[in-house]
Structure 1
């Protein structure tokens, strides 16, 4: 608690006035324990008697109450006035920032039937092992905590990511190509800041990933939704003025489709002839339930047009806030500088621990274990949805969700399901202005308990039939 006491005049009266004003205007709330008279006197540089006199006067007027052995407290009888609203709010965000934060995924309490997307099962994560690794890095002090780190990320983690991608995704990359980020959104923000100007056109999938659309819109660029068919993004419908194309080719979000090899080659050629950048978001490639996927765009790219983005939010846990982007040579200095200007660098102990987690084979072991659980849930969810008349379940072979189409808008049913404890997502929410063209459900299975899958989907079945 800070008080400003007048230097001149009678000390007791000055302390009294300052304390009374703080209580009356709500800065010191009812029930707040005041410092002992000795402590406050030392802080203010005045005699203890001056403070004691002020306390006694305030107590006599009903502002304070003294409890033997406990201390002096602001009385609960004091009425705190409501904060006055300013007559006018002079500060406004610039154009493009008429946005509000999206709801956080951590509902308290969690819904009984949690079919939200993008939430992994925290119970599958080896927290004890992770705490040991982070604790060891903090104790060793090998990361020089008294200095600032490389904005591109911990060298060991960058090397570990490059090696893992070579093994798991056939992506040939050196550690110098990796920039560690605070997740996918951070990577997109860095890319947008160094590549895009106000008025540029960014092409995104329709339907697609809403946070990416919102981010690019906030940058002052024009976002153009491009249709997705059975082979992926329809390249023939890309706008000629596009400066950047954002795609999820390995597991299109949210439809779950895989972009065909012919379509991938068409997109790369389209981008090469127009000098366009491609952002490939490989957001959940670790969890696949069929044969090895097609090679990423980054592997097929021979012209240096693809920025490959990945995250550990789905494979490990969202709270880690760690991802990466593989950056072509011409953009590396700018992207690294943008990272440094924005937040300096990431958490070095966490990044060093993650490097060890990958290098010691613990990450691969965790992915295998979690993948078996998710594969079983994927099969159960897909089968339960397929048994519902009128629901067209789209084929998918990866990720943590299943999408199903409906002949009618799903918004009303989604709201009714929530009232019954079933949280599922409306496919229309993943589209831009053409939301009416998409009717269906996006059903996540990362967070739902195994023994609640059929019961929860049974609720959806009754609502669809109704």
Structure 2
């Protein structure tokens, strides 16, 4: 805590000290709870008597700006902010739109650190212990040196060219996607990429088609923009193209690893989807969120590489390959949307943090990302096999797994009626986080089951946690 007091002349010394400390407190330069210097120390620094400082402290205490604690010292008191009658939400001129946002439910929200359970099976969480701390630290130091040359100017809203070039090389190698750095827009995670696309395409009443079941925050995002969101069912080949209604403007899909069921979209269905999008003149959002972790077979071509009419916006993220806390994603936009998306990005937050961008560009360029993905692939693959083995043995009377060859979650469908709400409640009581599939459906054809993410669960914790789940099932389901 820095306290600046300037003494002028030799008159009214206590008054001068009192006024300057009072102003520091009222302006917020001295925050509530901060300790003031001992009166003897401040007196020595100012060249005044200790009695003078004590007199100023006494006045501050009398005015309830400072609290004295015997044996501890003097502290800035908590300020009691006097307010008039605060308007309620329904009293506001914009009450209707505020109420609209107030009613939005946020499903599948990750628990905060103080609410996490010992055994977590939530989807989308990465293995924290696998994060390459040392390599990222070196790349961050490199980034700090690069940002020192910015001279205080804002950066390119589209993203640093070095990062866009690194992304171009990475997705060309890992996913066979061919593009230029000018096609790429860096975003704060995939969620901002979806938000920007919605901003430039969605208006109240327009039709947006999403998979059912599907990624809930995409559905909620489009609904928040007042779109008419149609839940299109998913079968064994992917989104049912024939169910996409006429007039659809935007189609959201996860073809490489359907969320949450995990099935890949077939080649025939991909072609049919692109043809339907061409008929509708609709943009297709291809959310390729975790397909870099593939355990069986050859990956099918992304929709983006099959697109011949500039209708696919390819969305990628580093939240699943590295860490969601970095908030780094990107969208490879069709030419018709590139300028609009860059403008929307600049109006939203101007640009993504340049320090993180420089660090990621270095991280990719030095080969750390591919090495990290290979390391995670080995760990996630072992966890996946472990979970499959359990669901094919002692958990098989209650659940069957949907075949999945990529990502780091699997869907377990109920073989028999199970009270999943009770199961999840009892599991939480024994420190196991389970999450039902039901919440990810919007239509009527719901399938009961669990979303089993294996990014956050340690390999040695799989057996003891699933033992607890099995015991609960034996108790409640027989």
TM-score past 0.5 threshold:
yes
1:402 is matched with which residue: 410, 423, 443?
410
Aligned to 2:11: none
Q: Answer yes or no: is 1:445 the counterpart of 2:450.
A: no
Superposed, 1:348-427 pairs within 5 Å as 348-387=354-393, 388=395, 389-406=397-414, 407-408=416-417, 409-427=419-437
Greater CA drift, 195-204 or 93-102: 93-102
Inter-partner Cα distance in structure 1 for 2:106 and 2:85 = 22
Q: What's the CA shift for 1:379?
A: 0.8
Q: Which residue of structure 2 lines up, in the alignment, with residue 244 of structure 1?
A: 250
Give the alignment's TM-score, normalised by structure 1.
0.86
CA distance in structure 2 between the aligned counterparts of 1:271 and 1:124, rounded to whole angstroms: 40
- The whole-number CA distance in structure 2 between the counterparts of 1:347 and 1:415 is 40
Decide whether the 8 Å contact of 2:18 with 2:60 is kept in 1: no
> Structure 2 matches for 1:428-443, cutoff 5 A?
428-432=438-442, 434=444, 437-443=446-452
C-alpha change, 1:375 and 1:241, in structure 2 (3 Å) is same
Task: State the secondary structure of the residue aligned to 2:101.
Answer: coil
Structure 1 residue 96, shift from structure 2 partner: 3.7
RMSD: 3.4
Q: For the Cα contact (< 8 Å) 1:309–1:326, is it kept in 2?
A: yes
How many Å separate the matches in 2 of 1:419 and 1:157?
45
Structure 1 position 141, deviation (Å): 4.1
Partners of 1:444 and 1:458 in 2: CA distance? 17
The aligned counterpart of 2:68 is 65
8 A contact 2:146–2:358 mirrored in 1: no
The CA distance in 2 between the partners of 1:37 and 1:256, in whole Å, is: 67
Give how far 1:162 is off: 1.2
Q: Is the 8 A contact 1:182 1:321 kept in 2?
A: yes
The 1:322–1:442 alpha-carbon spacing in structure 2 relative to 1, beyond 3 Å, is same
Matched, 1:218 2:224: yes
Q: Secondary structure at the match of 1:97?
A: helix
Aligned-pair CA distance for 1:118: 0.5
Q: Distance in 1 between matches of 2:307 and 2:204?
A: 27
After TM superposition, the structure 1 stretch with the greater mean CA deviation from structure 2, 107-116 or 175-184, is 107-116
Q: What is the correspondence of 1:20-99 to structure 2 with a 5 Å cutoff?
A: 33-34=35-36, 52-53=54-55, 55-57=57-59, 64-65=67-68, 71-73=73-75, 86=86, 88-89=88-89, 90-91=91-92, 92=95, 93-94=97-98, 96-98=100-102, 99=104
- 1:465 is matched with which residue? 474
Q: CA deviation at 1:65?
A: 2.4
Could you say if the C-alpha distance between residues 312 and 150 of structure 1 is closer, same or farther in structure 2, counting changes exceeding 3 Å? same
Task: Give the unaligned 5+ runs of structure 1.
Answer: 3-10, 42-46
* C-alpha spacing 1:224/1:40, structure 2 compared with 1 (3 Å): farther
Deviation at 1:323, TM superposition (A): 0.6
CA contact (8 A) 1:143 1:349 kept: no
Contact 1:12 1:51 in 2 (8 A): no
Q: Which residue of 1 is the match for residue 318 of structure 2?
A: 312
Q: Map Cα deviations across residues 120-172 of structure 1 (whole Å, 9 max, x no partner).
A: 10211211011101102212447525211111111011111112211111111
- What secondary structure is seen at the aligned counterpart in 2 of 1:108? helix
TM normalised by structure 2 equals 0.84
- The aligned counterpart of 1:6 is none
Alignment-derived partner of residue 107 in structure 1 = 113
Paired residues for 1:129-148 under 5 Å: 129-141=135-147, 144=150, 146-148=152-154
Residue 417 to residue 145, structure 1, CA distance change in 2 (3 Å): farther
Partner residue in 2 for 1:193: 199
Give the Å deviation of 1:462.
Answer: 2.3
Shift of 1:66: 6.0
In structure 2, relative to structure 1, the CA distance for the partners of 1:350 and 1:404 (3 Å cut) is same
Matches within 5 A, 1:304-343: 304-343=310-349
Aligned position for 2:184: 178
Q: What whole-Å deviation, never above 9, does each CA across 1:202-254 have from its counterpart, x for those lacking one?
A: 11111100111111111111111110011110011111121100000000000
Cα distance in structure 2, aligned partners of 1:306 and 1:74: 58
Greater displacement, 454-463 / 399-408: 454-463
How many residue pairs are counted as aligned between the two chains?
445
- The offset of 1:439, in angstroms, is 0.6
SS of 2:114's equivalent in the other structure is coil
Question: Would you say the 8 A contact 1:232–1:258 is kept in 2?
Answer: yes
Deviations 1:346-369 (A, max 9, x none): 122221221122122221111111
Structure 2 spans left out of the alignment, 5+ residues: 4-13, 44-48
* Superposed CA offset, 1:157-192 (max 9, x none): 111111221111111111110101111110001101
Paired position in structure 1 for 2:8: none
Q: Distance in 2 between matches of 1:211 and 1:463?
A: 30
User: Contact 2:130–2:376 (CA<8 Å) still a contact in 1?
Assistant: yes
1:289 CA displacement: 0.6
Q: Which moved more, 1:284-293 or 1:141-150?
A: 141-150
Shift of 1:36: 6.8
